[in-house]
Structure 1
Amino acid sequence: MSKSFNAYILESRDKPLIIMAELIRKALIVRFQDKRDKMKNYVGRICPNIQKKIEGLKELSNQCIPKWAFDNLFEVKCHGEKNIVNLVAYTCTCRKWDLTGIPCKHAISAIFFKHEVVKDYVSHWYTEDTYMRAYKYIIYPIYAG
């Protein structure tokens, strides 16, 4: 977030403080509205960028072989490495799922083994509802008369 935000406000950074704050405020008004408009037209529960990542991970999961150990516990072999996936705890020993909230290729192979839907295992932080709540706030215009 900080890198993209810094790039977003780059032209404002060398201005005097009050002018810089005003330019950033105006830019954020536009940015928030653009984000809201973009998501209003999107059909899906998971945000589009995350959905795109998941589609790529689904392809990679085809190279994995899940072995059902017990209930929601799997041993997944992929490229000679073994990982343990726990679908109830939303964890994998590769730690990618734990750290990002997005199922890794090992978890996705286990989810497919159970004939379940991957989006049900994605963290709520990546849902359309959470996204819209993040951008629901209004930055009010200021009268400078």
Structure 2
Amino acid sequence: MLLNNSCECFNRYILDVRDRGIIDMLEMIKVKLMWRLRRKKEDMQRIIAKGRERICPKILKKLEKLKDESIFYVVEYSGGPSVSCHGHGKTYVVNMMDLCCDCGKWQLTGIPCEHAVAAIMGNDGDPVDYINECYYISTYMNVYSHYINPTEREELWPKPAEDVQPVKPPAQVQKRRGRKVTARRNEPEEIEIAAAQKRCLRMPQYV
């Protein structure tokens, strides 16, 4: 089974409609998506009206924190694309041409890490120019430029042909006693991780 942040976020997003019938569930998800697309678009339009940067505001806030952290690093330039960055007892190599760093944060997020920011600003550059295009406001607006058209009520839906047999609803299943379980079942590897944790008897924490 595929487990990642996207699946978990969507599963939580539809948590309140999962127990509905298939048609009602899809209609409710459609309404939620219609509202989300409109809200995201309007929020970004207000930001554009204020005349801000070309980068999304949350990313700019992260970049400001990285600038504050970058002052603790000393940069040594070799004359080539690779730069040596020293700080906190460690050394990192930043490649300005390949947009990568030994720590791996720059490649993973598309945002220059504190080591890359130190190297960029030490060379009189602007870290904003090295941020991935996926964080541009123009990219954001392009993602949310689409919309979902509303649908007519069920009575106005096209009728199937006479020779098409309607799909019968599933057989009624007798409900079990007790409270309905809504929590997600843990995968085998998650159970192993939980079983490996031990509770300290002296201190109220897991070790």
Whether these two folds match at TM > 0.5 is yes
1:105 is matched with which residue: 102, 105, 114? 114
Equivalence for 2:166? none
How far off is 1:74 after superposition? 0.8
Equivalence for 2:97? 88
Cα distance per residue 1:23-55 (max 9 Å; x no partner): 010000010111001111112211122112111
Uncovered stretches (5+) of structure 2, i.e. residues with no partner = 1-5, 157-207
Greater per-residue helix proportion: 1
Equivalence for 1:16? 21
Equivalence for 1:32? 37
Question: With structure 2 as the length reference, what TM-score do the two structures score?
Answer: 0.67
Count the aligned residue pairs.
145
Runs of 4+ that moved beyond 4 A: none
1:50-69 equivalences in 2 (<5 Å) = 50-69=59-78
RMSD of the alignment, in Å? 1.3
How far off is 1:8 after superposition? 2.4
CA distance in 2, matches of 1:3, 1:55: 30
Equivalent residue letter for 1:12: V
Q: Work out which of the two has the higher radius of gyration on C-alpha atoms and give 1 or 2.
A: 2
Uncovered stretches (5+) of structure 1, i.e. residues with no partner = none
Question: With structure 1 as the length reference, what TM-score do the two structures score?
Answer: 0.94
Query: More deviation in 51-60 or 30-39?
Result: 51-60
